A and B are shown apart, each in its own frame.
Chain A
Amino acid sequence: MIELIINGKPERLDEAPTVLALLEGRQLAGKRLAVERNGEIVPKGQHAHTLLTDGDRLEIVVAVGGG
């Protein structure tokens, strides 16, 4: 069991996913978004190769209307 903080909310998972697997599990894969892990950008090309670990803090962002 691991715990991730995703967009500020704790989530428990049975096993550590890659970034891509996490996004796929939430129907977010392939969308126009960006991921930061513990303050560092995870480039799109690395989503499939980046294995998350217990305690990781993720920010998953999109563009929204703003001025």
Chain B
Amino acid sequence: MNDSLMIAGKSYRSRLLVGTGKYKDFAETRAAIDASGAEIVTVAIRRTNIGQNAGEPNLLDVLPPERFTILPNTAGCYTADDAVRTLRLARELLDGHALVKLEVLGDPVSLFPNMPETLKAAEILVKDGFEVMVYCADDPIQAKMLEEIGCVAVMPLASLIGSGMGILNPWNLRLIIDQAKVPVLVDAGVGTASDAAIAMELGCDGVLMNTAIAHAKDPVLMASAMKKAVEAGREAFLAGRMPRKHYSADPSSPTSGLIGS
């Protein structure tokens, strides 16, 4: 079945996008990403160490941009200006690469998005030629605004970043999915495989996660579980679930031909 995920005109086989933070080391990062089957992987942009650890391995040597689609993020940015500067540096770092993940945070406790700054940054970035995948609140109105600005994917949170609390407001996600003309990906909040499956069954085009894999007891095994959950949830969505019957049972076995009748 050809059921690829299209983002900004490029097709991807995997609907699971993964982060690269919080792993024990680069070997574990790479092993987990391979097990996840993800083709798009997020990275953060940070100041380099100056004059120390000159031989230190570089993440992009472990995850070569020729093999993976690198999605630089703006994690840690609290203003549109900082986010835009960070992504211009990322574009230079990645030789003109345009696909980015915008996130402008509102406060360090909740890491909830600051939507006014997010909208402002999205406008600047789209005008500057970036293909913007955007972390946002699960607010259908603002998700639509981001789409109208020209973002190539909207990525509402399912619950707080790194919380593992799962899909807290499936109804809002459905509102966003039903109206969107660009891919909708759940970004943040997935804790375990069933959460990823639920997101996909709701009709999400993909799921982006980091901590659920990196902080599992066995990250590589969880990465494999997430791959299957995203695939299973997608197939269940496409298959179309049976209607719920709240107050009446319906036997699965024949009601005739019973012995003694």
Residues of A whose CB lies within 8 Å of any CB of B are 6-9, 26-28, 31-36, 39, 41, 43-44, 59-67
Given contacts A32-B61, A41-B91, A44-B92, 17 further A-B contacts (CB under 8 A): A32-B60, A32-B93, A33-B93, A41-B89, A61-B45, A61-B93, A62-B59, A62-B60, A63-B60, A63-B90, A63-B93, A65-B29, A65-B43, A66-B43, A67-B42, A67-B162, A67-B210
Would you list the 9 A-B pairs with minimal beta carbon distance, nearest first?
A66-B44, A67-B19, A67-B210, A27-B54, A34-B93, A34-B92, A65-B20, A63-B43, A7-B47
Contact A65 B47 (CB under 8 A): no
Within the complex, which residue of A27, A43, A65 is in contact with B22, where a contact is CB–CB below 8 Å?
Answer: A65
User: Which B-chain residue is minimally distant from A63 (CB atoms)?
Assistant: B43
Complex alpha-carbon distance, A37 and B48, angstroms:
15
CB neighbours of B210 from chain A (8 A): 66-67
B 92-114 binary contact with A (CB < 8 Å = 1; else 0): 11100000000000000000000
Within the complex, which residue of B48, B54, B59, B93 is in contact with A65, where a contact is CB–CB below 8 Å?
Answer: B59
Cβ-Cβ contact count across A and B, 8 Å cutoff = 105
User: Which A-chain residue is minimally distant from B161 (CB atoms)?
Assistant: A67
> Known contacts A41-B88, A61-B45; is A66 also within 8 Å of B19 by CB?
yes
Within the complex, which residue of A26, A34, A36, A44 is in contact with B54, where a contact is CB–CB below 8 Å?
Answer: A26
Within the complex, which residue of A8, A43, A62, A67 is in contact with B48, where a contact is CB–CB below 8 Å?
Answer: A62
Within the complex, which residue of B51, B70, B89 is in contact with A61, where a contact is CB–CB below 8 Å?
Answer: B89
Residues of B whose CB lies within 8 Å of any CB of A are 19-23, 29, 42-48, 50-51, 54, 58-61, 70, 72-73, 75, 85, 88-94, 161-162, 208-211
25 contacts between A and B (CB under 8 A): A7-B50, A28-B54, A31-B48, A33-B48, A33-B93, A34-B45, A41-B88, A41-B89, A41-B92, A43-B92, A60-B47, A62-B46, A62-B60, A63-B43, A63-B44, A63-B70, A63-B72, A64-B21, A64-B59, A65-B29, A66-B19, A66-B42, A67-B42, A67-B161, A67-B210
Specify which of A41, A61, A64, A66 lies most central, judged by the most chain B CB atoms within 10 Å of its CB: A66
Min C-beta distance of A35 to chain B, whole Å: 8
Complex alpha-carbon distance, A54 and B177, angstroms:
53
CB neighbours of B48 from chain A (8 A): 7, 28, 31, 33, 60-62
Contact A64 B92 (CB under 8 A): no
Complex alpha-carbon distance, A67 and B47, angstroms:
17
Within the complex, which residue of A35, A36, A41, A65 is in contact with B19, where a contact is CB–CB below 8 Å?
Answer: A65
